[in-house]
Amino acid sequence: MKVFITRELPEIAFRLLKENKISFGYYKKDQPIPRKLLLEKIKNCEALISLLTEKIDKKVIDQMPGCKIIANYAVGYNNIDINYAKKKNIIVTNTPDVLTESTADLTMALVLACARRLSEGEKLLKTKKFKGWKPKLLLGMELKNKTFGILGAGRIGSAVARRAKSFGTNIIYVDSNRNQKLEKETAAKKVSLNNLLENSDILSVHLPLNSQTHHYLNHNRLNQLKRNSILINTTRGEIIDEKALIRLLENNRIMAVGLDVFENEPNINSELLKFQNVLVLPHLGSATKEARDGMAELAVKNVINVLKNKPALTPVF
């Protein structure tokens, strides 16, 4: 077995491997593979396809002396010790682009759901508390002319900005690089972090998680957010200090929060769940047929290329 896959993937992954006559095995239960079993299964593999639910640390990497590539089935790769992989001459790839539009769609779904209080509205109906139309029932925020802040204007941040622009918002962004394409498409303005935090009516987080971005939105920065703004996170939970966010919510400093990701997934801080203005989703950003097929195809194509001594399509370094 040349390739080990830590979970069953969309059919296209297996089809491509078979067409290329590459032997593979995978963990058949639809849950994270127990670490002990993972360490056992990968011993002789030349390629590993991993999910964000597995920690690919030194111990795992040391267990695969013949490994040439770790292909992560995700755009984020904070689950992999990439410095150690590099040291061991193992290529690491991710799945950018193919999930950009789906993740941006989900981000806008959270924005609209928070702005128009969809989850509170649905709960009212399903608990049979709707007594008819009222002038002041569940008033939300109209998007037109609001300031839409993008923290991290990469692929997904830019795709969200394009969508937000079509709702008539004014886009501001923070990124280490100027994004001239985005500025041209959406009249977005690059601003300082202080400006972004203090002026965004909606702030959407799109930074990758790494040692520099862990708890990037800490107590001080969260407290700079505009009163009655909306905060959306569809990247990684660890970017936001959840304890500080809970304090912000307790102090009624924010209109709504939409979260697709959490600090200790799948264990969600129960404090967060008690706020009616916090809308939570179970990490669904890339959860469309299109994106998941694209991710499976790209992960496997990276593996096939590397096993055939060709360059990887989407290496992370």
Question: Between residues 150 and 249, which has the closer beta carbon with respect to ligand GLV?
Answer: 150
What is the closest distance, in whole angstroms, from the C-beta atom of residue 96 to ligand GLV in the complex? 9
Question: Between residues 64 and 106, which has the closer beta carbon with respect to ligand GLV?
Answer: 106
- Give the C-alpha separation, 286 to 96, whole Å: 11
Among 38, 48, 74, 298, binds ligand GLV (CB under 6 A): 74
Site pattern 181..200 for ligand GLV (x: CB under 6 A): --------------------
- Give the C-alpha separation, 1 to 24, whole Å: 5
- Give the C-alpha separation, 189 to 173, whole Å: 6
Question: Between residues 97 and 120, which has the closer beta carbon with respect to ligand GLV?
Answer: 97
What is the closest distance, in whole angstroms, from the C-beta atom of residue 93 to ligand GLV in the complex? 12
290 is catalytic: no
- Give the C-alpha separation, 234 to 232, whole Å: 7
> Of the residues 183, 198, 265, 271, which is catalytic?
265
Among 7, 76, 171, 294, binds ligand GLV (CB under 6 A): 76
CB 79 within 8 Å of CB 52: yes
- Give the C-alpha separation, 36 to 186, whole Å: 49
40 is catalytic: no
For residue 206, the SS3 value is coil
What is the closest distance, in whole angstroms, from the C-beta atom of residue 227 to ligand GLV in the complex? 28
Is position 6 an interface residue for ligand GLV (rule: CB under 6 A)?
no
Among 90, 99, 172, 205, binds ligand GLV (CB under 6 A): 99
> Of the residues 236, 238, 263, 292, which is catalytic?
236
Per CB under 6 A, contacts with ligand GLV among 273-302 are: 285-286
* H helical segments located in 88-226: 100-115, 118-126, 155-165, 180-186, 193-199, 219-224
247 is catalytic: no
CB atoms within 10 A of CB 21: 7
Among 75, 257, 299, 304, binds ligand GLV (CB under 6 A): 75
Q: For the chain, percent helix, then strand, then coil, each to nearest 5?
A: 35, 15, 45
Question: Between residues 130 and 194, which has the closer beta carbon with respect to ligand GLV?
Answer: 130
Question: Between residues 75 and 259, which has the closer beta carbon with respect to ligand GLV?
Answer: 75
Residue type, 94: N
Backbone angles phi, psi at 151, to 5 degrees: -100, 100
Is position 158 an interface residue for ligand GLV (rule: CB under 6 A)?
no
What is the closest distance, in whole angstroms, from the C-beta atom of residue 7 to ligand GLV in the complex? 14
Size of the site for ligand GLV (CB under 6 A): 7
47-50 and 3-5 strand pairing: parallel
Q: From edge to edge, which strands make up the β-sheet containing 202-205?
A: 189-190, 170-174, 147-151, 202-205, 230-233, 256-259, 278-280
Residues engaged in binding ligand GLV (CB under 6 A): 52, 74-76, 99, 285-286
